[in-house]
Structure 1
Amino acid sequence: MATRKQAVLIVHGMGEQIPMQTLRSFIDTVWTTDDALVRRDRPDSETGESPRAKNTVWAKPDAAYDNFELRRVTTERTENGWRADFYEFYWAHLMHGTTWQHVTSWLRTLLWRNPRTRVPRPVLATWISLWVIVLLGVFALLWTSLPMVKEALPLPAWLGWVLLGVIALSPILLRTVMIDRFGDVARYVMAKPANVARRQEIRANGVALLERLIESDEYDRVIVAAHSLGTIVALDILNQTFARTNKRFNKDRIGPQPERAKLEAMVRVALGLEDGEAPEDFTAAYQEQQKKALAELSSQGNPWKVTDFISMGSPLTHAEFLIAADRDDLRELQRRRVVPCCPPALEYDSRTGSRHWTYRSGVVRSEGEEFDPVAPRCPHHGAVFGYTRWTNLYSPQSRIVKGDLISGPVAEPFALERGEKSARGARDIAVLPEGLVTHNHYWNGERRMSTDAPDKTPEHVRILREILDLDAP
């Protein structure tokens, strides 16, 4: 059996991350402890023991990295002939120089919004809680520093001591939580002059790494998996890399594209742009057809290899709140193809009288094929999610501490819309339904729920392994 190779690129989340820490824990869950990838009776590749206790990996230096702190982690062969190379896009060291001013500037943009028109309902409770925390903080500062406030509003002695304790601990809280963690969010999502250099450096490094993986002759497929703020970083990297890679599409090899034509037609039917019957589960059918369309595109010379984008604990559910001014602004950014949507934005082609996320290039135009739906076409620069499947794992939240406050569904904010109709190409999967503060547990194999089957792999881990499909037939 011929060996096939895949690259898995992990993008870590916010905070002062340690190089390779996220990658090692991820590999331990999705590879080392997965009994389904390698037969237990196959001798251990390191020790020769049989039955084996684990699947083997090796950490190696790699030219894809410009950082000596990082290593490529490679695996042994699976039962179906796959090997995997795991990479981490480490960007925490690029987010330096964050100050309290960066955070307060971001907080002002979040707080000074009309709650009726510019605060989405899923975020409203958090927005109100943020206001309460700010007002309590201001009151505590005034009460402890101004005698007149203390006299006008006398408080029990114990509460006064609590306020003094809060003030005393506030520098630690501001540094460890607001600056070291949420400071990353503040600087990355806001395109202000003080942040542009950091945003540019992070994106440029991420694009360079992903391009090296795509252009390598080693890999048959590439998977991008990201957590928390890393999902916003990964979305930008995917969008930019697809646009750059797409320019290198060798149009001389383009031929008929029946799979792409079926995929675009599926979206047009869902939006009511042409007659037909939409599949009962549009997202499942869309992702299945994406796989076929990417294989077709690759066979015709397009170098794009990213089959899957997996987001976990993603704040992209709040895209209209975090990366746009409001919902209308987000939709406008998607129409202009600044922010990708899933499925991709369609544009009208007067020669076909229909809408596509592809265009007819003069290089491939031929007589008599102008109106043929399967005639050769090239994807536009914002069509990354025409060919890359997006699966999003989130933990439903309630009462602030239950579930994951940061995450949520992404299919709706990134859907393609036309009036009351929409096509949702991203697949949302709810996991860890009962957990408290689950944001950091999407690949935690020790975190179990009462809904998990006894003596079996935790449900959220099983789902993640299934999506990655590291031993695909």
Structure 2
Amino acid sequence: MARNQDIKRQAVVIIHGIGEQRPMDTLRSFVEGLTFWIKKEEPQAERPRYWSRPDGISEIYETHRITMEQFQMNPKTDFYEFYWAHHMRNTSFAHLVPWVWKLITTRLSQVPPRLKPIFYTLWATLVAMVVLGGVIYTYHAAIWAYVEAEWPSLLGIIAVVLAVVRVLYGLVKVPFSSLVLNTAGDAARYFNPMPSNIEERSTIRREGITFLRKLHDRKTKPYDRIVVVGHSLGSVVAYDMIRLLWHEMHERFTPGADVDHDVFEEMDKISRGDEPLGNINDFQQLQYRCWKQYRQNGNPWLISDFITVAGAIAHADVYLLNSKPFQALVKQKEFPICPPVMEGRDKTLFFDRLTAEVDVNGKKEKRTVRFLNHAAPFALTRWTNIYFSSDYVGSDGQRIFGKGVRDIKVDRRGLWFLPSGHTNYWDAIKDNQALSDIATAMGFKQAK
């Protein structure tokens, strides 16, 4: 993890997940949980203090930034929420159908282990409905004969049942539709690049990239680093923001006198090899060194850490509706992984170079900076992926995103058909291991 004495001021961006999210609800609960963890030994302690300030970054006026004071080993931190729920409106069941059909028709061999219980449950339900329909069809003559014989008494029963069903339908129609359309509907639309979803997807990404760009370009009290935290579907939004902003920034340099590329040679060797990592801590330390050196070489990239919590991104190969398989798009460097995919021609992370004259002790000297390819943000940005064993929305990121993802599975009891604990990762409660893992990944220290 980052040594916080190197960081004087940082920004943490929280990106919420699916549902009818209200602005600031996720951010406030996150900061409350983190503060509780920092003050764990002394819950009534006054510090660290935090307060709300004008956002100055977002394009909406419903959000504020929360500033936490510098405290012991913890740097001064501005917490932001990138809010996007208002862009997913007017979702209909027509938006859900293609996505749901793709999920239920996925080959069993391609279903990730953590989704198989849900897959089996869904298909068992469908088979049971078909069997019931078949029984009714097979014995329809006998059933109809019985109905004809007993119709006076059955008529009353049917009338009562229909009345009850009508009342119940009226009670659940609106909340059920709202629940499905405003939760699963968000995922169905964001994961499916069909024409009716392009405007919403593009708007969310455009505003997200602008949000991160403004944090990078901040002139007054600039940040030393940025941490991006994505929850649930927010992990996918965050991933897109990082990969698309990297496209803009990976070739931007203002070279200095002390350009150095040695640390990237180590990352080259790891990216080129197929053997598993010996120690994920050592790899993440290498990523941090690469991040610092890329900055030292004159690049503006500030995102040192990406943290996914109950990240739906871990099932991107199943959820995304693409014409090509996910792994094929990884090889084409459309989706960055960790460690990055090499350049096919040269078998290196480097893509090109820039030579410029710099001032060295009053003399002009040339310095050459080599920059990484467009799919290499995770050569610099550490990825920590945290999920409950009871929450099937999240899963192990290494399965499709590479051996450099730090997966943290937190044991928790739950039923197989419910994503148990999905909204409880940073609850301010004693012995919340997920909260501890989140805080540690961010580099925070507890009060002494």
TM bracket (short chain) = 0.7 to 0.9
Instruction: Pick the aligned partner of 1:296 from 293, 298, 302.
Output: 293
Match of 1:45 in 2: none
Q: Matches of 2:175 and 2:127 in 1, distance apart?
A: 16
SS at match of 1:55: coil
Q: Matches of 2:269 and 2:27 in 1, distance apart?
A: 39
Q: Is 1:405 matched with 2:388? A: no
Q: Matches of 2:108 and 2:295 in 1, distance apart?
A: 46
CA positional deviation for 1:380: 1.1
CA positional deviation for 1:62: 2.5
- For structure 1, which runs of at least 5 residues remain unmatched after alignment? 42-50, 273-277, 366-374, 397-402, 416-423, 447-455
- For structure 2, which runs of at least 5 residues remain unmatched after alignment? 148-153, 358-367
Counterpart of 1:314 in structure 2: which amino acid?
Answer: G
Q: CA 1:172–1:12 in structure 2 vs 1: closer, same or farther (change >3 Å)? A: same
Using the size of structure 2 for normalisation, the TM-score is 0.82
- Compare CA radii of gyration and give the structure with the larger one: 2
Q: Is 1:343 matched with 2:317? A: no
The number of equivalent residue pairs is 413
Counterpart of 1:224 in structure 2: which amino acid?
Answer: V
CA positional deviation for 1:135: 6.3
Q: Matches of 2:146 and 2:189 in 1, distance apart?
A: 40
Match of 2:115 in 1: 123
Match of 1:244 in 2: 248
SS at match of 1:59: strand
Instruction: Pick the aligned partner of 1:198 from 193, 197, 200.
Output: 200
Counterpart of 2:312 in structure 1: which amino acid?
Answer: P
**Residues 78 and 471 of structure 1 are in contact (CA less than 8 Å); yes or no, is this contact kept in structure 2?**
no
Match of 1:112 in 2: 105
SS at match of 1:261: helix
**Residues 143 and 150 of structure 1 are in contact (CA less than 8 Å); yes or no, is this contact kept in structure 2?**
no
CA positional deviation for 1:363: 3.3
CA positional deviation for 1:392: 0.4
Q: Matches of 1:154 and 1:265 in 2, distance apart?
A: 77
Match of 1:425 in 2: 404
Instruction: Pick the aligned partner of 1:459 from 421, 433, 439.
Output: 433
Q: Matches of 1:251 and 1:141 in 2, distance apart?
A: 72
Q: Matches of 1:103 and 1:295 in 2, distance apart?
A: 44
**Residues 39 and 45 of structure 2 are in contact (CA less than 8 Å); yes or no, is this contact kept in structure 1?**
no
Instruction: Pick the aligned partner of 2:381 from 384, 388, 410.
Output: 388
SS at match of 2:48: coil
1:211-250 matches, within 5 Å, as: 211-217=213-219, 218-250=222-254
Q: CA 1:153–1:465 in structure 2 vs 1: closer, same or farther (change >3 Å)? A: farther
Cα displacement string for residues 316-361 of structure 1 (whole angstroms, at most 9, x for unaligned residues): 22221112559x81111111121111111111454xxxx2222232
1:107-186 matches, within 5 Å, as: 107-116=100-109, 118-133=110-125, 151=143, 164=165, 171-172=173-174, 174-186=176-188
Q: Matches of 1:6 and 1:293 in 2, distance apart?
A: 18
CA positional deviation for 1:81: 6.2
**Residues 393 and 428 of structure 1 are in contact (CA less than 8 Å); yes or no, is this contact kept in structure 2?**
yes
Q: CA 1:457–1:124 in structure 2 vs 1: closer, same or farther (change >3 Å)? A: closer
CA positional deviation for 1:240: 0.5
SS at match of 1:318: helix
Q: CA 1:254–1:128 in structure 2 vs 1: closer, same or farther (change >3 Å)? A: farther
SS at match of 1:363: strand
**Residues 6 and 82 of structure 1 are in contact (CA less than 8 Å); yes or no, is this contact kept in structure 2?**
yes
The two structures, once aligned, show a CA RMSD in angstroms of 3.6
Structure showing greater relative contact order (alpha-carbon pairs closer than 8 Å, 6 or more residues apart)? 2
Q: Matches of 1:142 and 1:164 in 2, distance apart?
A: 24
Match of 2:349 in 1: 357
CA positional deviation for 1:251: 5.2
Match of 1:322 in 2: 319
Counterpart of 1:470 in structure 2: which amino acid?
Answer: F
SS at match of 2:425: coil
Q: CA 1:152–1:411 in structure 2 vs 1: closer, same or farther (change >3 Å)? A: farther
Q: Matches of 1:254 and 1:193 in 2, distance apart?
A: 48
Counterpart of 2:385 in structure 1: which amino acid?
Answer: N
Counterpart of 2:318 in structure 1: which amino acid?
Answer: F
Q: Matches of 1:149 and 1:250 in 2, distance apart?
A: 83
Query: Which structure shows the higher helix fraction?
Result: 2
Q: Matches of 2:141 and 2:254 in 1, distance apart?
A: 73
Q: Is 1:271 matched with 2:283? A: no
SS at match of 2:353: coil
SS at match of 1:347: coil
Q: Matches of 1:221 and 1:286 in 2, distance apart?
A: 19
Q: Matches of 2:356 and 2:396 in 1, distance apart?
A: 39
Cα displacement string for residues 68-116 of structure 1 (whole angstroms, at most 9, x for unaligned residues): 1100111111113610000000000011111111112221222233334
Report which stretch shifted further, 128-137 or 13-22: 128-137
